Amino acid sequence: MTTLNLDPILEGRRSQPHQVIEVLQDVQDQYGYIPEEAMRTVSDCLGVPLIEVYRVASFYKAFSLKPRGKNVITMCMGTACHVRGAKLLISQATGQLGIKPGETTGDGLFTIEHVNCIGACALGPVVTENDSCHHHMSPGKLRRLIKSLSGEATEETTDD
């Protein structure tokens, strides 16, 4: 088991249970997910029962308990995006990458996720890739986005 260094994150926050969400956000920012060892350390240092740290970490969609890919592609499945073809985007991504939502490619390059709403209904269907938002997405645009993120050259110029 790798030993994590959470001292910089916990500095000034020890014995402060109300800091659990902020600490978990910082852990995820540093490691890309929240390792079990980190939850145990956070529990001990903040004085929060381990089950409560796990509950918080597993409740919020923004937290991940397993490593995610370098590129996290999140598709909105809210009503506005759904009626504009969001299911086609899920099909495109899963077919192209060979993984299901919630999974990461074997090379660690991509994770596919879906959420109930991104909050950009007028721009749907919407896909976020890491911190970038892509609006009015189509399967063709998504295919090209994935190719560009994987380093593949793309010669397609049609805007489908």
For the chain, give the mean pLDDT: 91
Q: What is the mean pLDDT of residues 13-32?
A: 92
Residue 4 — very low, low, confident or very high, per pLDDT cuts 50/70/90?
Answer: confident
Nearest C-alpha neighbor of 121 from the set 107, 136, 143: 136
If one counts every other C-beta atom within 10 angstroms of the C-beta of residue 158, the result is: 6
pLDDT digits (tens, 9 = 90+) for 75-113: 999 999 999 999 999 999 999 999 999 999 999 999 999
* Pairing relationship of beta strands 110-115 and 132-134 according to DSSP bridges: unpaired
Please tell me the distance from the alpha carbon of residue 101 to that of residue 74, in angstroms, as a whole number.
Answer: 9
Q: Is the pLDDT of residue 6 over 80?
A: yes
Question: For residue 160, what pLDDT is reported?
Answer: 55
Question: For residue 153, what pLDDT is reported?
Answer: 59
pLDDT digits (tens, 9 = 90+) for 30-60: 998 999 999 999 999 999 999 999 999 999 8
Q: What is the mean pLDDT of residues 18-27?
A: 95
Question: For residue 2, what pLDDT is reported?
Answer: 59
Q: What is the mean pLDDT of residues 2-8?
A: 84
Question: For residue 80, what pLDDT is reported?
Answer: 96
CA angle 30, 57, 95 (to 5 degrees): 80
pTM attached to this predicted model: 0.75
pLDDT digits (tens, 9 = 90+) for 118-156: 999 999 999 999 889 999 999 999 999 999 998 875 555
DSSP state of 18: G
